[in-house]
Every structure is written in structure tokens, then in C-alpha cells.
Amino acid sequence: MRRILTCLLLVLAVPASAQIYKYTDANGNTVFTDQPPEGQAAQSIELPTTNTVEMSAPSVPPSGSHEDEQTAPYSTLQLTDLPSAEALRANDGTFSVGVELQPRLATGHRLRLLLDGQPYGQPSNVPRLQLTNIDRGEHSLAVEVLSGDQPIQQSASVSFTVQRVNTGSPALRPPPPPPTPKPAP
């Protein structure tokens, strides 16, 4: 059995070290071949060594291991595009936030917002998330990374204030019409 395996390995190794020949045919065309032509002068070609790439094993610990709780898969996970000092003006309560993430989002991971500590919206693999019809006032917002339905990492929570126009405000009511002048008697 060993002898057959050795012969098989030698046969497979022969094409990897095959020689290439170059010659010019009767029509003046350059020809490359692995068989030297009969009765024709051929030049032996030295090929450079082939490129190889070593595959490294993924460094993600198996799920459910204790190491998952200590090692965050993302070195950077934070919200962007939220004002830090002034209020966020969104008259209809709709705005979007960005997510800065390093390294890029892994296959099978999704992002979900946490508005005031509660999950908000559908998980997405896009680093731009939209919020719709958010009430005016102060809120907290964070983003979490999900693997399946399980949260695996969460950003720091950011506080911000949404400013919306109060449609009942007297400032938004149209001014009363000017008084009509009375006709002179």
C-alpha cells in the first residue's frame, strides 16, 4: 500500500516540475509547449517559483466559551453623527446615525440600536441606522452587535436631546388679520 501511495505522489509531483519549451514555428509564431518539438531547436524556459499564501486559522473563540465574555470582537464600536452639546433638530423626529466599527462587520453579525435601553428597529448589516418619529426630549442611544439573536458587544451609551417644533405653539399660529378700517361718515 505504501508503494502505491509513493508512486501516486510522484506522478502528481511531475506536472508541478514540468519543463516548458519555447520555439518559433514555420510561420514565425512563438510557441510554448511542455514537449520539445522533433527536428526543431527549442529553448528551455526557467519559470519563477509559484506564489503561495498560508491560510491562518480564524482567531474567534468557539461560541459559548468563557473567553467570549472577555474578548470583544470589535476594537472600535461607537455611534457617530449625534450632536454632543446642542439639541438635535428633527421636526418630524426622523434622523439617522452612523456606526464606527473596526474591524468591519463580520459575516453573520448585525447592528441594532438601543434607544433608552430598549432594542429599537430591525437589526441591519449597514453602518447607517435610521430612527423615525422619536419624541422630543432627552434620550440615550447605543448600538449593539448581534450574532444571530444574541448580543455580543455594545457601545457606550450617548445622551442627546431631540428638538421638535411644537405645532400647538402660539409662535406657529398665523397672526390675526389686521383690523379693517371703518368707512368715514
| One domain for residues 25 and 95 | no
Each residue's pLDDT expressed in tens, for the chain with a length of 185 residues: 677 766 566 555 555 556 888 888 888 888 888 888 888 888 888 877 777 777 766 555 555 444 444 567 899 999 998 877 778 888 888 889 999 999 999 999 999 999 999 999 999 999 999 999 988 889 999 999 999 999 999 999 998 888 887 666 666 667 777 888 777 76
| One domain for residues 35 and 109 | no
In a domain, 102, yes or no: yes
| One domain for residues 30 and 105 | no
Cα Rg of the chain (Å, integer): 35
In a domain, 1, yes or no: no
What CATH number is given to the structural domain containing 140?
Answer: 2.60.40.10
| One domain for residues 29 and 83 | no
* Count of helix runs (H) and strand runs (E) in the chain: 2, 12
Range(s) of the domain holding residue 32? 16-46
| pTM of the predicted model as reported, rounded to 2 decimal places | 0.53
In a domain, 184, yes or no: no
| One domain for residues 104 and 146 | yes
